[in-house]
């Protein structure tokens, strides 16, 4: 994937900010008990599709929470459209993905901890 244009980056920033506000306000009804963070938004060059990466806290089943969010895409897109109507001609199609960066970091930390506990081999 090539680099994003300034226009794509600006539009992605608008979507990220407005979705974060929506998840803060309505997120509990879409994924009860989960704290949802919009970690990254990528927009296609024609601004028709927004790929949104979400991170979930306070939930053991992030994949289940993601499915709950995906089942509410039309409602979320409608509410986003109301918020960005003065900044965009079209409301992009939304695609939600799980941002597993935190899980990856924890996994790597565990591996490094395990390595550091192993006895060193003499040179």
Per-residue pLDDT tens over the stretch 100-117: 776 777 778 888 888 888
| CB neighbourhood size of 83 (10 A) | 17
The architecture that CATH gives domain 6-117 is 2-Layer Sandwich (3.30)
Q: What is the pLDDT of residue 77?
A: 94
pLDDT per position as a tens digit, 35-91: 888 999 999 999 999 999 998 887 778 888 889 899 999 999 999 999 998 888 889
Task: Give pTM, 2 decimals.
Answer: 0.79
Q: How far apart are CA 34 and CA 46, in angstroms?
A: 32
Q: State yes or no: pLDDT of 93 exceeds 80.
A: yes
**CB of 17 closer than 8 Å to CB of 24:** no
Separation of alpha carbons 43 and 5, rounded Å: 10
């Amino acid at each position: 994937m090539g680099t994003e244009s300034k226009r794509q980056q600006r539009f992605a920033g608008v979507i990220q900010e407005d979705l974060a506000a929506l998840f803060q306000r309505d997120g509990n009804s879409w994924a009860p008990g989960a704290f949802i963070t919009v970690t990254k938004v990528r927009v296609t060059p024609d601004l028709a599709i927004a790929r949104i990466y979400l991170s979930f806290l306070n939930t053991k089943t992030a994949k289940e929470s993601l499915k709950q969010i995906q089942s509410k895409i039309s409602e979320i897109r409608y509410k986003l459209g109301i918020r960005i109507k003065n900044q965009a001609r079209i409301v992009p199609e939304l695609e939600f993905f799980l941002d597993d960066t935190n899980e990856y970091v924890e996994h790597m930390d565990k591996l490094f901890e395990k390595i550091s506990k192993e006895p060193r081999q003499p040179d």
